Amino acid sequence: MQTLRGTKDILPNEVKTWQKIYKIATNVLKIHNYQEIRTPIIENTELFERSIGNFTDIVNKEMYSFYDQGKRKITLRPEGTASIARAFITNKLYTEKSIKRLWYLGPMFRYERPQKGRQRQFHQLGIECIGSDMPMADIEVIKLATDILKQIKYKDEYLLEINSIGNLQERENYKVNLVEYLKKYEYELDLDSQHRIHKNPLRILDSKNLKTKEILQNAPKLTKYLGRTSLKHFEIICEHLTYLNIQYEINNYLVRGLDYYNYTAFEIKTKSLSQQNTICGGGRYDNLIQQLGGPKIPAVGWAIGLERLIILMNQNLSNKIEENKIYIAIQSSYKSNILWDIIDILKEYQLNFELDLSNNNLSKQIKRANQLKAEICFIIGENEIRDKSITIKWLQTRTQQTIKLSNLRKYIKYLKTLNYLT
Ligand code: ATP
Ligand code: MG
C-alpha cells in the first residue's frame, strides 16, 4: 500500500522538526500579539473562487473539489488567507475594533505535479495582520517572516523580493496597455502566456520562459502606472527595510498568483534551491474581506511553505532521535506494581524513560537497554520487589547500586545537581 501521489507520512523522527517549528512560531508570534486560529480544512468551493479568483492557476487547475452527500460543492483548502478572511467575517471578529493579528499552521491541498518541494498535501505557516492600512503593518509582517527564519537557524542565504502592484484601478489601466503591447507578439509567447493574455495578463510577467521574458523587457512597466499613495506606501516600506537591515530586491515582475493582493507583494526566495525556491509568499489585501461580504477592512499577511523550509533545515541539521536516558527492566509478577510508583516519580521530574515490555529475562532486558544506548537501567527484580528497592545500573561504567524506593526522589535530585540527567 502506498500513500496517494503527492502526499507523505511524517514519521516520528521528522515530527520533531515540525514541533520545533511550531514552538518557535508560537513564541515569536506571541510576543507580537499574534494569536493562533484553526479553521476547517473543508470550505465551500465558492469561497476560493470568489477570493483567489476564477482565472488563477489555483482555482482553475489545482483545487481538490467534490460534491458531498448533500450535493454541496466542497473544496479542500488550497491556502489559508481566504479561510481566515471568512472566519473573520463569520465570527464578527471586526466588532472588537482593534487590530486582529492571527496565525495558523496546517495542511493545504493543491493538485499539482509532485516534485521536490511540491506536494499535493503540503503545510503552510501563515500570519495575517487585519485592520491597518499603514505601511508599518506590512513591515511588521515582513520582519516577522525574517525573524522566524532566523530563529529556525535557517542559515542559507535568502532574499526578499518585493514589488508594489498598486490598487485595482491602477492595475486595470496597466493591464489595458500591457495587453495591447503583448498582442503584437502574441504568437511568440509561450503557450501558457498566450492563454493568459485575455484572462490573467499580469501573470505573464511571472513567466520563466526565456522568449517571453525577452518580449517583456520592452513592455510597459507597472511602476509607471502607480499613483502617489501607492508609491508613498512602497517607499516607506523600503526605507524601513533598509533600516532593519533586511536585504531586499525590488522585482517589478513579481505579481503573485492570487487575485486579492494590492500595493505590496513579496516573496522570500532561497538561493540554495534552483527550483521551488520560494519559501514564503505574501502581500497586502485591502479588499478581500469586503469582497467576501464583510466590512471594508485592510489586511496584510504571508505564508511559508514548511516542506520547503524543512528541506533546507535538513541540509544543515542531522535529525537524530534523542535516546531515552532511562530504561526500566522488570521481573514481571503480580507484585511488580511498585513499578507505577517509580514511573510516577520519573514523570514528576520530567525524565523520559522506556519500560521493557518484552517478557524476556532480566539480563536480556539489560542487553536491550545497552543496545538502545540508555544511560541508566533501573532493574526491578524479585529482590527489589520484595525490599521495595531499585537497582540502578550505569550502563557505560557498568557500576550499580541499590537504593530504597523511598530514596528515589533524593537520588534523582542529586543526579540533577550533577547534571547527569537533564
Ligand atoms: P509556487 O510558485 O512555488 O507554485 P505559489 O505562488 O503557488 O508557489 P503561494 O500560494 O504563495 O505559492 O504559497 C506560499 C508558499 O507555500 C510557497 O512559497 C511555497 O513555499 C508553499 N507552497 C505552495 N504550493 C506548494 C506545494 N504544492 N507544495 C509545497 N509547498 C507549496
Ligand atoms: Mg503554485
Q: pLDDT (tens digit, 9 = 90+) per residue, 244-258?
A: 999 999 999 998 877
Q: Report which secondary-structure segment, H or E, holds 354.
A: strand 353-355
Pocket test for ligand 1, best of 59, 122, 304 (most atoms within 8 A of CB): 122
pLDDT (0 to 100) of residue 272: 78
Ligand 2 mean position to 58 CA, how many Å?
Answer: 7
Distance of CA 29 to the CA centre of its chain: 13
The C-alpha atoms of residue 409 and residue 422 are separated, in whole angstroms, by 15
> Which of 51, 76, 47, 72 is closest to 62 using CA atoms?
76
**124 near 305, Cβ under 8 Å?**
yes
Which ligand 1 atom sits nearest the alpha carbon of residue 124? 16
| Res. 96 pLDDT band, cuts 50 70 90 | confident
Q: Provide mean pLDDT across the span 226-230.
A: 96
Whose alpha carbon is nearest atom 16 of ligand 1? 305
**Ligand 1 binding site (Cβ under 6 Å of any ligand atom):** 79, 110, 112, 117-119, 122, 124, 257, 276, 278-281, 303, 305, 307-308
Query: 261 among the known binding-site residues?
Result: yes
pLDDT score of 321 more than 80? no
pLDDT (0 to 100) of residue 316: 58
Q: pLDDT (tens digit, 9 = 90+) per residue, 333-345?
A: 778 889 999 999 9
The C-alpha atoms of residue 317 and residue 327 are separated, in whole angstroms, by 27
pLDDT (0 to 100) of residue 322: 61
Which ligand 1 atom sits nearest the alpha carbon of residue 281? 11
Query: 80 among the known binding-site residues?
Result: yes
Which ligand 1 atom sits nearest the alpha carbon of residue 282? 11
The domain segmentation of the chain, as residue ranges, is: 12-166+226-319, 326-417
The reply to whether 326-417 shares the fold of 12-166+226-319 is no
| CATH superfamily assigned to domain 326-417 | Anticodon-binding domain (3.40.50.800)
The C-alpha atoms of residue 352 and residue 6 are separated, in whole angstroms, by 35
Q: Provide mean pLDDT across the span 304-316.
A: 86
326-330 and 353-355 as β-strands: parallel, antiparallel, unpaired?
Answer: parallel
The C-alpha atoms of residue 339 and residue 328 are separated, in whole angstroms, by 9
Q: What's the DSSP call for residue 245?
A: T
pLDDT (0 to 100) of residue 289: 96
Whose alpha carbon is nearest atom 28 of ligand 1? 118
pLDDT (0 to 100) of residue 210: 92
pLDDT (0 to 100) of residue 99: 94
Fold observed for domain 12-166+226-319: BirA Bifunctional Protein; domain 2 (3.30.930)
Q: pLDDT (tens digit, 9 = 90+) per residue, 341-376?
A: 999 999 999 999 999 999 899 999 999 999 999 999
pLDDT (0 to 100) of residue 214: 93
Pocket test for ligand 1, best of 120, 123, 278, 313 (most atoms within 8 A of CB): 278
pLDDT score of 318 more than 60? no
Of 93-102, 189-198, 225-234, 314-323, highest mean pLDDT:
225-234
Which ligand 1 atom sits nearest the alpha carbon of residue 268? 18
Residues whose CB falls within 8 Å of the CB of residue 278, separated by 6 or more in sequence, listed in order: 267, 268, 269, 305, 308
**6 near 119, Cβ under 8 Å?**
yes
pLDDT score of 19 more than 90? yes
pLDDT score of 312 more than 70? yes
The C-alpha atoms of residue 418 and residue 422 are separated, in whole angstroms, by 10
The C-alpha atoms of residue 299 and residue 262 are separated, in whole angstroms, by 10
The C-alpha atoms of residue 275 and residue 305 are separated, in whole angstroms, by 14
